[in-house]
Amino acid sequence: DAGVIQSPRHEVTEMGQEVTLRCKPISGHNSLFWYRQTMMRGLELLIYFNNNVPIDDSGMPEDRFSAKMPNASFSTLKIQPSEPRDSAVYFCASSSYTGELFFGEGSRLTVL
Amino acid sequence: KQEVTQIPAALSVPEGENLVLNCSFTDSAIYNLQWFRQDPGKGLTSLLLIQSSQREQTSGRLNASLDKSSGRSTLYIAASQPGDSATYLCAVRSETGANNLFFGTGTRLTVIP
């Protein structure tokens, strides 16, 4: 299996622009997670889905952030409008019934 | 809320040495514990997963142990190599709270050739 696939790997944008991050989980995994990692706060869970349904989005910073999972093989995390403080590495991860979590390589976002 | 602590934050050892990384957690009602390594600019790579009913797991030169009652896990690395240099994170999944993992802040390991 190719593992969890994220795109883009790097994104540089200007404040106020819309950013869309994409994730393809490992085939057969039923849970998908979006994390954000910064030096100051470490890894933070933003939202996770079970069987394509959002279960806990309490980690989403504010209404500018939204996530969707239209099917079992695709998810998006959208930031609109983006702000400089959103600069971070965003990770997608997936897991099966065993609970073992597998991460993608991350999307490094820089908002100028 | 579950709190996960990893001490030390950084560790340097000469090549060939055996070493132990520590992870402690405050709530013993866990579902599983997972060890990851993260290389600079990369994602997290799963190393070992220990279910709550297990005491240890082994993979190659790595051995992870779990003591739920004391809220502790250790990652033992035998015969360390420069390629082992990375940040090692432990993550705990609580019995409650469904799928949420609580991460430690990591131990940055440097193995000196």
Give per-residue pLDDT as tens, B27-71: 999 999 999 999 998 999 999 999 999 999 999 999 999 999 999
Whether the CB-CB separation of A21 and A107 falls below 8 Å is answered with yes
Mean pLDDT, residues A24-49: 93
Classified as helix, coil or strand, B2 is coil
Q: What are phi and psi of B70, to 5 degrees?
A: -95, -5
Classified as helix, coil or strand, B84 is helix
Mean pLDDT, residues A18-34: 96
Q: Are B49 and A43 a contacting pair at CB < 8 A? A: no
- The pLDDT of residue B97 is above 60: no
Q: Are A100 and B49 a contacting pair at CB < 8 A? A: yes
> Which pLDDT does position B74 carry in this prediction?
97
Does residue A12 sit at the B interface (CB-CB below 8 Å)? no
Alpha-carbon dihedral sign for residues B31, B27, B108, B8: negative
Tokens at residue A97, please? 């019934």
Mean pLDDT, residues B12-20: 97
Q: Are B100 and A45 a contacting pair at CB < 8 A? A: yes
Q: Are A103 and B93 a contacting pair at CB < 8 A? A: no
- The pLDDT of residue A65 is above 70: yes
Mean pLDDT, residues A40-59: 91
> Which pLDDT does position B88 carry in this prediction?
98
> Which pLDDT does position B32 carry in this prediction?
92
Does residue B47 sit at the A interface (CB-CB below 8 Å)? no
Mean pLDDT, residues A89-97: 94
Q: Are A106 and B100 a contacting pair at CB < 8 A? A: no
Kindly report which listed range (A18-22, A54-58, B15-19, B88-92) carries the lowest average pLDDT score: A54-58
Kindly report which listed range (B30-44, B76-90, B95-109) carries the lowest average pLDDT score: B95-109
Q: Are B49 and A98 a contacting pair at CB < 8 A? A: yes
Does residue B36 sit at the A interface (CB-CB below 8 Å)? yes
List the single residue in A50, A98, A103 with the smallest CB-CB distance to B99.
A50
Q: Which residues of B touch A50 (CB under 8 A)?
A: 98-99
- The pLDDT of residue A52 is above 70: yes
> Which pLDDT does position A1 carry in this prediction?
63
- pLDDT over 70, % of chain B: 96
Pairing of β A53-56 and β B101-103: unpaired
> Which pLDDT does position A21 carry in this prediction?
98
Nearest chain A residue to B43, by CA: A105
The per-type count for chain A, helices as H runs and strands as E runs, is 0, 11
